[in-house]
Amino acid sequence: MNLVSDIQSVDYDGLIPNNVGLGGDVRVKRALERWHPGYINWWQDMGPEGFQESLVYLRTAVSVDPKGWAKFDYVQMPKYRWGILLAPQVKDRKIPFGAHRGEDAWQEVPGEYRAMLRRLIVIQGDTEPASVEQQRHLGKTAPSLYDMRNLFQVNVEEGRHLWAMVYLLQKYFGTDGREEAEALLQRRSGDADTPRMLGAFNEKTPDWLSFFMFTYFTDRDGKMQLEALAQSGFDPLSRTCRFMLTEEAHHMFVGETGVTRVIQRTCEAMKEAGIDNPFEKEAVRKLGVIDLPTLQKKANLHFSLTLDLFGNEISTNAANAFHAGLKGRYREERLDDDHKLQSGTYPVLRLVDGQIRNEDTPALSALNMRLRDDYVADCNVGVGRWNKVIREFGIPFEIKLPHVAFHRHIGEFSDVHADVDGNILGDAEWEKRQGDYLPSADDKAFIESLMQAQYEPGQFASWIAPPKVGIDNKPGDFEYVKIA
Ligand code: BYC
The listed range with the strongest mean pLDDT (63-67, 68-72, 149-153) is 149-153
Q: What is the 227 CA–ligand 1 centroid distance (Å)?
A: 15
Mean pLDDT in residue range 21-32? 94
Residue 68 has a pLDDT of 61
| Cβ proximity of 56 and 472 under 8 Å | no
Please tell me the predicted confidence (pLDDT) of residue 8.
Answer: 58
* Residue nearest ligand 1's atom 22 by CA: 317
> Which residues have any ligand 1 atom within 6 Å of their CB?
120, 123-124, 127-128, 131, 158, 198-199, 218-219, 221-222, 225, 308-312, 315, 317-318, 327, 368, 410
Q: Whose CA is nearest to atom 45 of ligand 1?
A: 317
Atom 19 of ligand 1, residue of closest alpha carbon: 317
Give this prediction's pTM.
0.97
Q: Can you tell me which atom of ligand 1 is nearest the CA of 197?
A: 7
Q: 368 CA distance to ligand 1 centroid (A)?
A: 10
Please say if the pLDDT value at position 4 is more than 70: no
Give the model confidence (pLDDT) of 335-368 as tens digits: 999 999 999 999 999 999 989 999 999 999 999 9
Ligand 1: centre distance to CA 397 (Å): 34
So what's the pLDDT on residue 9?
72
Please compute the mean of the pLDDT values over residues 65-90 and round it to a whole number: 89
pLDDT of 180 above 90 = yes
Nearest atom in ligand 1 to the alpha carbon of residue 215 is 23
Mutate which of 131, 312, 313, 370 for ligand 1 pocket (most atoms within 8 A of beta carbon): 312
Confidence band (pLDDT; 50, 70, 90) for 7?
A: very low
CA distances 265 to 287, 456, 467, Å, are 10, 19, 11
Ligand 1 nearest atom to the CA of residue 198, by list position: 1
- Ligand 1 mean position, distance from CA 103 (Å): 27
Cα separation, 224 vs 327, in Å, equals 11
Q: Which of ligand 1's atoms lies nearest the C-alpha of 127?
A: 42
Closest ligand 1 atom to residue 199 Cα is: 1
Residue 66 CA to residue 48 CA, distance in Å, equals 29
- Cα 97 to ligand 1 centre (Å): 21
The protein residue with its alpha carbon nearest to ligand 1, atom 50, reads: 120
Report whether pLDDT(5) > 70.
no
pLDDT category, 6, cuts 50, 70, 90?
A: very low
**Mean pLDDT (whole number) for 151-155:** 98
Q: Which residue has the higher pLDDT, 138 or 66?
A: 138
CA neighbours closer than 13 Å in the CB half-sphere of residue 33: 10
Pocket test for ligand 1, best of 120, 223, 225 (most atoms within 8 A of CB): 225
If you take atom 20 of ligand 1, which residue's CA is the nearest one? 124
Identify the band that residue 13 occupies on the pLDDT scale cut at 50, 70 and 90: confident
Q: Whose CA is nearest to atom 6 of ligand 1?
A: 222
Mean of the pLDDT values across residues 280-297?
A: 98
Of the given ranges (15-19, 97-101, 258-262, 402-406), which has the lowest mean pLDDT?
15-19
Q: Tell me the mean pLDDT in the region 206-219.
A: 98
Q: 278 pLDDT band (50/70/90 cuts)? A: very high
For 28-60, how does the pLDDT look when each residue is reduced to its tens digit (9 = 90+)?
A: 999 999 999 999 999 999 999 999 999 999 998
CB 118 within 8 A of CB 177: yes
Question: What's the mean pLDDT in 69-97?
Answer: 94
pLDDT class of 108 with cuts at 50, 70, 90: very high
Q: What percent of the chain has pLDDT over 90?
A: 93
Is 186's pLDDT higher than 90? Answer: yes
